[in-house]
Structure 1
């Protein structure tokens, strides 16, 4: 049963990677329409990756015979299964590491769930006060690293729990 969930997680990650490849293919084209298209590819890839992360939580719940539970967050999974299981302990540890793929996805969720910050206009009086927009790393390389790490985590869970 867990392999069906693993397949679904893998499918979402594959589609996210496909969107990132499309974003990369049009990155160098300066056309305004291509900029919008690239942003759509990036946001779509992020959304699919976040969906895969949610499905990973459901996959873990199913591995422990919680067939009717669909945890929406790590906290919900911890409340459901506890902190002692290897999977929940690993995810909890990842959530505590500031540079982990789990935290990168948390940052992306926060950024993509908020309207863009209002930008100040640049003038002679405030040029020093204008700074770069901060936020999660949305570069193709950072997104691909998080995708790879999530895929590797899901694969190791599937291997650990697969039935012979």
Structure 2
């Protein structure tokens, strides 16, 4: 039975972001940007890992701008989530990598952007997505839940996604 009580916990982490200009030439401005994030924590009373903590993750992007055009190629990586909260039956997830592409054009007050996230249509589970309980024993072929867990299946991340947006500044 879960109940709310104060407990001692320790949490620590590191967030790093960086941007670097690479070159400006006849083809425009080129730059790179990236981020890296790590967080960990433990319940000092029970020794269990803390709930809903994102595993090591990062991204790196190549950015290009030329005469109003803005383009980006981004790689995102997330390591496996193996440090889970056992009292809350948190589900472990595998690591994954994604490729995202975007392009756009800016005028004085209007900009248009379009992109594709998860270009390679990678199948992955969200480390902080929780559990999908709808895939119960009556919904499975052999009467077992994915991963032989009585606590559900990890929620899947978005597949290949296309988007487009228009912004107007006034």
Q: Rg bigger for which structure?
A: 2
| TM-score, structure 2 normalization | 0.28
More strand by share: 2
Higher RCO structure, 1 or 2 (CA under 8 Å, sep 6+): 1
